């Protein structure tokens, strides 16, 4: 992962249609994510907070939803039944950040069995496209210097 430091003044934010912001909650007791006008409360991954998803939950659901939508799209394009569901299990490493043993199952109609090779190839390319190997993290120092 590359890290870039980018000085920026308050008010100099770029707006794009796919912007995401993670910001402190007004009560300063956690964070919220703002994604294209949708607000999500984010649970502290170190807590047992069950009322909001954790960062790990959101990571897994982002992959699962990508698999579901790509499977549905492929099945529809081939004129096959497009009923799709995805289930996932995972566990956390003890005393380390990250996840272990991520297992996802994509369930489709038995009548879509002829598309199994195409589904496998689609899933492999979608997962490869989500690789974080070339990601960039920018650090922005905002506000008044003290």
Is residue 137 one of the residues assigned to a domain?
no
CATH classification of the domain holding 88: 3.30.300.20
d(CA 32, CA 26): 9
Residue 59 confidence (pLDDT) above 80:
yes
Q: What is the pTM of this model?
A: 0.70
Is residue 145 one of the residues assigned to a domain?
no
Domains in the chain, number? 1
Give DSSP secondary structure letters for 100-130: EEEEEEEEE-GGGGGGHHHHHHHHHHHHHHT
**Averaged pLDDT for residues 58-65:** 90
Is residue 118 one of the residues assigned to a domain?
yes
Is residue 117 one of the residues assigned to a domain?
yes
Among candidate residues 89, 58, 86, the one with its CA nearest the CA of residue 72? 86
Is residue 77 one of the residues assigned to a domain?
yes
Residue 75 confidence (pLDDT) above 90:
yes
Give the lowest-confidence range in 16-25, 113-122, 128-137: 128-137
């Amino acid at each position: 992962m590359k890290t870039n430091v980018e000085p920026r003044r308050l008010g100099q934010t770029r707006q794009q249609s796919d912007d995401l912001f993670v910001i402190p909650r007004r009560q300063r007791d956690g964070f919220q994510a703002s994604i294209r006008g949708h607000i999500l409360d984010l649970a502290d991954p170190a807590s047992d907070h069950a009322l909001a998803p954790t960062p790990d939950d959101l990571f897994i659901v982002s992959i699962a939803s990508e698999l579901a939508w790509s499977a549905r799209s492929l099945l529809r394009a081939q004129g096959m039944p497009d009923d799709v569901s995805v289930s996932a299990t995972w566990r956390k490493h003890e005393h380390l950040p990250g996840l272990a043993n991520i297992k996802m199952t994509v369930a489709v109609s038995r009548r879509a069995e002829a598309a199994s090779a195409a589904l496998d190839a689609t899933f492999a390319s979608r997962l490869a496209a989500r690789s974080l190997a070339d990601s960039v993290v920018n650090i922005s120092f905002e506000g008044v210097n003290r």
